[in-house]
Amino acid sequence: MYKKTTLKNGLRIITIPQKSTQAVTALVLVGTGSKYETKENNGISHFLEHMYFKGTKKRPTPLAVVETLDKIGGIYNAFTGEEYTGYFAKVAVSYTELALDWISDIYLNSLLPKKEIKKERGVIIEEINMYYDHPMFYIGILWNQLIYGDQPAGRPLFGTKENIIKMTQQELLNYMKNQYVASNTIVCLAGKIKEKEAISKVKKYFSKISTKKSKAKPSVIEKQNKPQILLQPKKTDQAHLALGVRAYNLFHPQKFAQEILGVILGGMMSSRLFIEVREKLGIAYYIKTNIDSNPDTGHLTTQAGVDNKNVERAISVILREYRKISQKRIPAKELKKAKEYIKGKTALELESSDAQAAFYAGQELLENKILTSEEIFKKIDKVSINDILKVAKDIFQPQKLNLALIGPFKDKEKFEKLLKL
């Protein structure tokens, strides 16, 4: 069972003891990401994440930072999202103290050296090039751009090359000072730990964290009254598409029904779209339906890669399945299968300490409350056939449809004619 401790300065500590492991994960989450940025500093959250591996007073070089955990076979990394930035270290239990020392050092004491900023610009620009050259990633960027446009939710989390080239040390320092503060930070320890001892050590290592108030993110504007299309003309052998609808955020009472709906449509190898598009028609290697629910946004999206000549056919089949599930109740056995799939997959994923840390800390950061897996499973079990139909009827409406497409296409009108339910 987890325990949440909130210190007087606002820092939240989550401890999750696990007896059946010899590992410990230290995860630090800060509530800032690309949705907190402006057009001018878009990409700063991700840039700052990179710079946290470039040196502290105690570990003055990038080599000194990474070698600390390499010497003990530790697993470590960082990540940036729309709502958060995270840093973690997973180590054998005997190195718990070292993991806390290391992660608190980079989180609180990173120097952001100018010479490293200059070099890291090149690294991030190559990362951007990689994403834009990889259609499976790029289609997700286009999807956000399509539905949210020129606001933080619609911009790429790694920013633009122009922003990266001109970003300064002072900008990074100011952003860090404004966002990386106690009330905006969660420190999570999961694995083979003693609870009281773990809390005491976190207090010790994070005692110097700033107590400033963090800046809030701007509100997302949701606006759509007709189907929308974004074409990215590109000479390719395979077209990549994202087709879906605006849907529910994390606080919607039907979010669990929405999750099950996504699994039924395209979340597993026996899902409707996988069977129809891959198994029966043989026109796609990958096809999947994702549910993306955040505190202020939500959408259901099906992505697929198909031969250019099969794009219209794939779109028609996906829309047919959207229409079908919003008009006819699903069989009881299909609902049960989807529920058991979610519960079984979740149980398997939560075997490791790093997954436990992300599961609990992520909920706390995004929702400001935590449900155990057992509590979540009970909510999933309560979802009915009528709930699935109700959600499908609500979200699958013509005016909510969106299509992003990468491939050798320029005729928008041809695709507009297809977007009907």
The domain spans of the chain are 3-205, 228-416
The span from the CA of 260 to the CA of 262, in Å, is: 5
Q: For residue 102, count other CB atoms closer than 10 A to its CB.
A: 26
Do domains 3-205 and 228-416 share one topology? The answer is yes
Name the phi and psi angles at 215, rounded to 5: -85, 140
Architecture of domain 228-416: 2-Layer Sandwich (3.30)
What pTM does this model have? 0.96
Nearest to 47 by CA among 183, 195, 150, 162: 162
The span from the CA of 108 to the CA of 58, in Å, is: 11
Which is the CATH superfamily of the domain at 3-205?
Metalloenzyme, LuxS/M16 peptidase-like (3.30.830.10)
Tokens encoding 220: 């997302």
Helix (H, G, I), strand (E, B) or coil at 397: coil
Indicate which residues carry an active-site annotation: 49
Per-residue pLDDT of the chain (421 residues; tens, 9 = 90+): 899 999 999 999 999 999 999 999 999 999 999 999 999 999 999 999 999 999 999 999 999 999 999 999 999 999 999 999 999 999 999 999 999 999 999 999 999 999 999 999 999 999 999 999 999 999 999 999 999 999 999 999 999 999 999 999 999 999 999 999 999 999 999 999 999 999 999 999 999 999 999 999 999 999 999 999 999 999 999 999 999 999 999 999 999 999 999 999 999 999 999 999 999 999 999 999 999 999 999 999 999 999 999 999 999 999 999 999 999 999 999 999 999 999 999 999 999 999 999 999 999 999 999 999 999 999 999 999 999 999 999 999 999 999 999 999 999 999 999 999 9
Report whether 371 contacts 396 (CB < 8 A): no
